[in-house]
Chains A and B, each alone.
Chain A
């Protein structure tokens, strides 16, 4: 048997490699697993040691009981609507803008692009107060439009779409013009289909960001029926801190659909993130 130092070292490194990478993966997924596990226990079992990872018997009742308190379903629907609308608006407006900025010439084009990019430096938290006051002045407090519109457009989105539309050959566009297509037609029939991949990625990215937003709904929403899921979960935790298991059940309900969607559409998720990385 050849156990030369080089071979030995290679196997040693490989083992370390696997230990680290598996260990890290376990850490990555640990909180998620703990959440699921705790959601099926009764409140005082959650902190028992030694930790029982698979509760026996699993307390499925936690889910029905926790969900019956408050209007989780309503909040869920609100979140879907708000996030969905945000995605729709963002995809449309950003791709329009990106297209306009890259495939057309008009005076001030460069300036407008720089201006749009500069808004990246204005995080929502900084304009929180005046945005609140503005929305209040418009009478949009506690409304869907107040929840959706102020955050619907993103400079990132414009930048990304511009970048990707750039790659579409000009000839396609000009020949469509020669054929007598209207500009809007060209946009919807040619540009959109050809940038489908980046649109989906942008859409997913936007959806996650919107779904998880807490600070804006916290400020804008006053009545119960306008709450989004993030507000609902936060309020639920505040009220039912007593029962860790209930809270984990609610958290699971909020998280599992996202995880499932992720598992199916992985490629687009990761692409959406990577997209934002290209300068």
Chain B
């Protein structure tokens, strides 16, 4: 084929590619990109849904960043993310290791362990809300093992965040375990066989073979779990409504309440933008890290 003919043919076909991408592109522009800039724009004004917007430049940012309410919310979010994610990393890894072993009933176990993931978070939150009642299941089971106190899981300022963290660990661990599992099962059997021949024990196998080869999966899990953790909303909204006081009022809840309980749209937008920068910054940092390790 003559050169010119070939390239114009490719270009002609190539156009279709663009057409196929177009619907998705339009959606993203309309419902992700545009609102993002809209938010940025709104954050430069003072707007509470009914009064005329008034340009204030960066005043909202100054306001929010010097507001203890915002920082308490940030702290509540960090506590939640840290408590949930770090625990999940370890527990799901252990779980994945266990589920990777050939054992009796492995298939059944895998099925059962995955149930928390597919249960609706709304339903889960409601069930755990009742479980955390002073006379509910959690305290009853604790009493059974000797801890007889009627813990106030949802009304104590120290226990409430912990209660929500435990709930999230319960819900999320199997999900990440599956990811770890996929990573583990991708490790070529030959490595383990070679180790067995060399007479290497199980723990050494873990440290020298499993762990290093799992690094990309691990990194991925770390990034995803943190981002998902930062976005948490449902348990805090349904179970504690940010309370008692505001110890469980995470950023998403703060944004929601600022916008829809107090109609302070521009302030809510400001907090959203700050949150976005944080998430974006974190993601970029992680991606850099990931690329370096490679």
Contacts and interface: CB of A to CB of B under 8 A. Distances in A.
Contacts of A1: none
Interface in B1-43: 10-11, 13-21, 23-25, 27-28, 30-36, 38-39, 42
Given A126-B275, A214-B233, A28 B174 contact: yes
Nearest to B252: A125
Contacts, number: 256
A20 B127 CA distance: 24
B36 A219 contact: no
B112 A28 contact: yes
A99 B110 CA distance: 33
Contacts of B120: 211-212, 230, 254-255, 258
Contacts of A131: 31, 35
Interface stretch (B61-69, B157-165, B175-183, B205-213): B175-183
Interface string A223-241: 0000000100110010000
A277 B98 contact: no
Query: Chain A's interface: helix, strand, loop or mixed, by majority?
Result: helix
Contact of A183 (B16, B103, B130): B16
B17 A20 contact: no
Given A28-B112, A29-B112, A97 B119 contact: no
Interface stretch (B78-86, B189-197, B255-263): B255-263
A129 B111 contact: no
Nearest to B284: A121
Query: Chain B's interface: helix, strand, loop or mixed, by majority?
Result: helix
A277 B227 contact: no
Interface string A155-179: 1001000000000000000000100
A215 B179 contact: no
* Residue from B11, B38, B123, B128 having most chain A Cβ neighbours under 10 A: B123
Given A129-B42, A187-B20, A214-B234, A121 B283 contact: yes
Nearest to A204: B118
A248 interface: yes
Contact of B27 (A103, A153, A183, A211): A153
A27 B170 contact: yes
Contacts of B14: 104-106
A38 B268 CA distance: 40
Interface residues of B, number: 92
Interface of A: 17-18, 20-21, 24-25, 27-32, 34-35, 38, 46-47, 49, 51, 93-94, 96-97, 99-101, 103-106, 109, 112, 115-116, 119-134, 149-153, 155, 158, 177, 183, 187, 208, 211-212, 214-215, 219, 230, 233-234, 237, 244, 247-248, 251, 254-255, 258-259, 262-263, 266, 269-270, 273-274, 277-279
Interface of B: 10-11, 13-21, 23-25, 27-28, 30-36, 38-39, 42, 95, 98-99, 101, 103, 109-124, 126-131, 133, 135-137, 140, 143, 170, 174-175, 178-179, 182-183, 216-217, 220, 227, 230-231, 233-234, 237-238, 251-252, 255-256, 259-260, 265, 268-269, 272-273, 275-276, 279-280, 283
17 contacts: A31-B119, A96-B23, A105-B14, A116-B25, A121-B283, A122-B36, A127-B39, A128-B259, A128-B268, A129-B255, A129-B272, A153-B27, A230-B122, A255-B119, A262-B118, A274-B179, A277-B178
